[in-house]
Structure 1
């Protein structure tokens, strides 16, 4: 099979031929149809977070969707021909970034085939494309977990989204559909209309401007330090701030306001297979369509270079390995 393999920061990605994988007990082989490209892989390639890898050389890529083509001994809930996504964060019990997760501790999605434990498979309805399912495994999952699990979103809440990139736009849409009153802060005015299309009531350029809306929850998808500090100023007393983005690794915050406003500041990373399944439900209902841009499998390396340069604002790059001709019924709706 063809695969993009990472050996070192000096060599980057190389397209090579590897033996087709064989499933072990409790495992399946998935013929990949779509693989999402993530900024985490940019960080691995440029040396920023290379230490998270379990070994090298390794096939990167942790946003995977395809068709089961072989099953190992003991597999009881998956069959050849099943349309599945693979959880980007393992089975949900092994920590936030376990050393067995796809594209980190074992070979990943930048390949024609990959092996996955049965416990990490998430069924894809016939009305959801492989492209959307692959994006759901990370961009969708991370947004859902931040807003609904760590943020505790409920219908009727006033929510602020900081950063309208791929994750922020996806999270904003899910919050709107779930009955929240959503506002956003985004420094790039070109992106503002995309937020409004998804039901955001108002988009401002400065996080501090969110103070006008008496927000119960702010989810910071940017994480540039100043955004975190401004969220503490802007949120109502008793509110909660969820930190997702890591634009900078450190922040100076006003601990006086944190204490005197009786605030919660919590962190989040990734999510669980159950979170991904919920995102796929949003997509299947027609209420959500993750903004994506498709590329060919031979463009994985150049696509990651584009991400490194910041050249794909507000969209998730997804490499398509084969045309998705199994979709039944109308294309999913929602706003891109």
Structure 2
């Protein structure tokens, strides 16, 4: 089969021929029909230690995977050839068991070959059923961009109906979070410097949009989730939350930041980090998507265009979430 593989740091992906996978006990093979591209894919090519060390090189990267089951290994129950499934990239790491994999080992594209290929060897435990009728491209997007944004907002942020919520950054993650917040009854406000996407915020149901989080100072937000992460965004969020309010940090635009702890202390604020999520998060997203309530903006490319897609992500040329479609 064909696979786009990373052969070394700061080197372009190479299209290679690799052996078709064969499922062992507890495993299934997916014919990949959609594979999402992520900024962490760019990082894995240039600075692989940022998220998780690469288990090997060459390695097939790509961790947003959805496809159709084409082979089932011994002992697998609940899955049959022809079933459509998304892959939770953090499921095995979340409940590893005594000898289970760590986060890096469990994640496709880092600990083992990922989804920029025609087939993917999956742990059956990591699969989430894609509802009938749901576009498989959305099935891929929900597995990481959706899961990560949802988990930060709903689980780490403990979202409740009626909350005043701020979403910083309306990219691939922020747009999903903004819509989820609205669907769950929150009053959602968006901070996004690119004014050409303000109409998207309005269409998602956001109450207001500003260019910079500094405009929210003193407005008493219950919860702000920062999907940008440039230091100034984190600092601005801490000035905008109410006493005992919460800021959840997801974005890693800068990883070494300095913030004035005065606001953190005086506001008795909760500053939390969030990464990944669970199969339950993905299943909830699938339900919202299948009902037509959540339709993230995506840009589709072909399998052959994956390297160009990586370049476009690096150069900030992508609107919404980028997905390579291999089938229907």
TM, length-normalised to structure 2: 0.95
- The Cα offsets for residues 195-251 of structure 1, whole Å up to 9 and x where unpaired, read as 111000100112021236421000000100011011111111110000000100122
State the alpha-carbon separation in 2 of the partners of residues 100 and 266 from structure 1: 23
Provide the rounded CA distance (Å) in 2 between the counterparts of 1:268 and 1:253: 18
Match of 2:44 in 1: 44
Partner deviation per Cα, 1:277-323 (whole Å, 9 max, x = no partner): 1111110111101111110000011110110101003x11100112x
CA distance in 2, matches of 1:73, 1:96: 24
Correspondence for 2:255 among 240, 249, 252:
249
Matched, 1:320 2:325: yes
What residue in structure 2 maps to residue 83 of structure 1? Answer: 84
Contact kept in structure 2, 1:63 and 1:138, CA below 8 Å: yes
| Distance in 1 separating the partners of 2:3 and 2:221 | 46
Tell me how far apart the structure 2 counterparts of residues 12 and 96 of structure 1 sit (CA, whole Å): 27
CA contact (8 A) 1:35 1:109 kept: yes
SS for the counterpart of 2:229 is coil
Question: Is 1:130 paired with 2:131?
Answer: no
* Map 1:7-156 → 2, pairs under 5 A: 7-47=7-47, 49=49, 52-91=53-92, 92-94=94-96, 97-156=103-162
| CA distance in 2: counterparts of 1:90 and 1:236, whole angstroms | 34
Tell me, yes or no, if the aligned pair for 2:227 and 2:251 is still in contact at 8 Å: yes
Q: Distance in 2 between matches of 1:192 and 1:96?
A: 39
* C-alpha contact 1:232 1:254 (8 A) present in aligned 2: no
CA RMSD of superposed structures (Å): 1.4
> Judging changes above 3 Å, is the alpha-carbon distance between structure 1 residues 98 and 90 closer, same or farther for their aligned structure 2 residues?
farther
Distance in 2 of aligned mates of 1:63 and 1:141 = 10
CA distance in 2, matches of 1:32, 1:171: 26
Residues 89 and 96 of structure 1 are in contact (CA less than 8 Å); yes or no, is this contact kept in structure 2? no
User: Distance between the aligned counterparts of 2:233 and 2:256, measured in 1?
Assistant: 11
Separation of aligned partners in 2, 1:45 and 1:103: 11
Compare 147-156 and 8-17 and name the one that shifted more.
Answer: 8-17
In structure 1, C-alpha distance between the alignment counterparts of 2:259 and 2:242, rounded to whole Å: 16
Write the distance in 2 (CA, Å) between the matches of 1:107 and 1:248. 28
Does the 8 Å CA contact 2:245/2:269 hold for their aligned counterparts?
yes
Deviation at 1:253, TM superposition (A): 1.5
| Alignment correspondent of 1:5 | 5
Q: 5+ residue gaps in structure 1? A: 325-336
Contact 1:66 1:130 in 2 (8 A): yes
Matches of 2:32 and 2:5, distance apart in 1: 16
Is the contact made by 1:159 and 1:216 (CA closer than 8 Å) also made in structure 2?
yes
Counterpart position of 2:290 = 284
